[in-house]
Homo-oligomer: A and B are copies of this chain.
Amino acid sequence: MALLVEKTTSGREYKVKDMSQADFGRLEIELAEVEMPGLMSCRSEFGPSQPLKGARITGSLHMTIQTAVLIETLTALGAEVRWCSCNIFSTQDHAAAAIARDSAAVFAWKGETLQEYWWCTERALDWGPGGGPDLIVDDGGDATLLIHEGVKAEEIYEKDGTLPDPNSTDNAEFQIVLTIIRDGLKTDPKKYHKMKRLFGVSEETTTGVKRLYQMQANGTLLFPAINVNDSVTKSKFDNLYGCRHSLPDGLMRATDIMIAGKVAVIAGYGDVGKGCAAAMKQAGARVIVTEIDPICALQALMEGLQVLTLEDVVSEADIFVTTTGNKDIIMVDHMRKMKNNAIVCNIGHFDNEIDMLGLETYPGVKRITIKPQTDRWVFPETNSGIIVLAEGRLMNLGCATGHPSFVMSCSFTNQLIAQLELWKERETGKYEKKVYVLPKHLDEKVAALHLGKLGAKLTKLSKDQADYISVPIEGPYKPAHYRY
């Protein structure tokens, strides 16, 4: 693999698919700005004071049109930015081109190999000899992971010269991570140590947040982290309403299948699963949920959904969607029993919910690529096929364009606020090497920034009413444990 970094005339580095798409990207970015009132009003509010002046920010987050608006909000507030995508299929190439040309160093294209993916991640973290970024915007935690694994390897290497051994794992992707770190060690045995002085990461997704809490529990977290995922205006909006929008979008673009009348199995009934199940039900499908958690299962039942196990329904359903954040949900043995042309896809962050390895290595299986990210896999015994979307990865980003701008404006305004906070408090010691959630008044502010666009008017509490329910007139209005 010999990937070359390119440079704009102004000298900014990048590697994208096709720079000629920058104009098209710019037009769609302009459309998106109108749909992202949270970010745009932050530009108005904070732009003049340049609060991110001097901050070097690395982002590892789907390089889409919406992310482009986030990046240009960061730069509008003074930051310098380097970016990679956090999924091999999620980049929108015209968005990447526009940003690379106009605003930030971008290393991302749709359809990266895993090698290319981690090369991009490394490039985004590479701020030259001075060390790494000041701040990270993360989604899924891969940038954070690379630094943590790098630091760990450097420590071992320093102790006794042992290099990481890619063959020590049979996880193909982790082999790549170890290779990158090993190769880096030879050049600069302190590379990741120089990075770890960073001021913090803000993390976007359930899966990435889970990793952070584990590191906090183990005492291995190297810098402060803000859990943006658990802002109400993130997890109860992006996860729920975003997926409600983008699951059918992905299904329709990839397969044109009529959803009405079909049986859809949604594995998992968390926020993402709730959004997916709602979308399928509304489109006229009959929805069956699989769950491990009795509370979520009871919620599904209250909405008229059936709760069964995958085994109960595997041969009757038409559409299977994994949303669990767990692994080994749909195995090749399930897939063999499915109806001809059943659709199998994953909308969870990582691609281990569907047993792609089992499928690929199934004896005699035949893969027919209908179009990119839409494959029909035919089993030899039955000559019957299933359709797998986005190779088992995030189907809404692989097959469509991900969540729409408006809901991403909620998520990304949280990201922005988290970045502002981490930078502002970079030397105050306010944030230790722990995981934090944004305070409720900021969460409410994010929501408030999005009401006007939809024509909503809020009711104002009187002093008397505020006292009666013991809240400030201006909020926050709910206790921390409130569930919305």
Contacts and interface: CB of A to CB of B under 8 A. Distances in A.
Interface in A430-465: 437, 443-445, 447-448, 450-451, 454-462, 464-465
User: Which of A309, A447, A455, A481 counts the most B-chain CB atoms under 10 A from its CB?
Assistant: A455
Contacts of A305: 286
A179 interface: no
A443 B481 CA distance: 15
Given A241-B302, A292-B477, A370-B31, A297 B260 contact: no
B258 A245 contact: yes
Interface stretch (A110-118, A128-136, A229-237): A229-237
A46 B299 CA distance: 26
A483 interface: yes
Nearest to A475: B293
Nearest to A232: B295
A449 to B, nearest CB: 8
A43 B210 CA distance: 39
A216 to B, nearest CB: 12
Contacts of A328: 462, 464-465
A475 B292 CA distance: 9
B293 A444 contact: yes
B256 A285 contact: no
A404 to B, nearest CB: 4
A212 B295 CA distance: 26
A258 B406 contact: yes
Contact of A401 (B230, B256, B478): B256
Contact of A405 (B256, B298, B304, B326): B256
Contacts of A308: 456-457
